[in-house]
Structure 1
């Protein structure tokens, strides 16, 4: 009888340990799946999309045969409809609103734009050396923006005006083909989007009213090919 009692107690203990182990494994698996899904979302959700062609058209459906909806200009930032992104067919992005303006569901439905017409920040490369532009002074609306660069692509942007206190941002330069994005290191927000002509060593920012640029002296760029 004692042996039976002993084995019953051992059996209960083993079942308890097994349940605890399974629960722990399930929790770990759930956490891993959650982390994996977060990575997946981070990889898939793309809010920073810019038009890379002279003009881009969005369509009512993901087909160039469907109704044309809106026109977007070069370097214009688009508002991706993340609720539809997982349903997007190959080669298309769902876009919110009209001409880059956000819209509620009661106003404007999403339309579709071809991926070949846009570039995402994820595709851009960090400048690490031989950045030729030393500084930029620009006016955007009522704001004055001064950006000072290092040859390694680091930047300090100072924004004044528009009735707000002066703001200073630590930033960096990213580039893909002829598109440059100067992006805040902390918030990761874009401070300036521009097209770039390496043969002229000159930026052409989107939405800027006036602009003054200075390049590094040739002696500082010794050994560099033009970016």
Structure 2
């Protein structure tokens, strides 16, 4: 597993100090599975900035081949500047996939959630519409086999009944511990083609963990 992204996927839980990629690995281990994880996480960066800085070069050299490459773009870029996101994906990263993905490997496009402040959109609903439209277009444009991790959709399902603060911290952008768990169980389900319903609760209460697993399982079709 290779994860490339920023603080939305790299934020650590207050409970255990694990970010999303490490929590996926922990969940897998508790379920009797092994995940080898490489992270290239730079808080505040777009994917293009991380590439231009040379940070991701060793991971994309072809020395290691991955079953999955998870790409998590800057929080609002796909929604507000889809042409830039498309150029980064197709012109910068896509040429590396032939040498870095195993046969049958896939790219996972981590679908960022709408922030609490929807600007420059007039409403949260408008921001979500742009997110949905533009991630679908990115997925369709990428010739490499890929899947969109429906994180945004899950956030909206939860926020509709519990409000943004149930998943997003006071800064209006970053995930809290519950959201990090939701992200991790979703990625687990996608990576292993398996329902996350039976995964361990980790640091959450049994009820909260079960509800997040149910949200993820329903959204990814398990």
Return the TM-score normalized by structure 1. Answer: 0.26
Q: Hey, which of these two has a bigger chunk of strand by percent?
A: 1
**Bigger fraction of residues in helix:** 2
Higher relative contact order (CA 8 A, sep 6+): 2
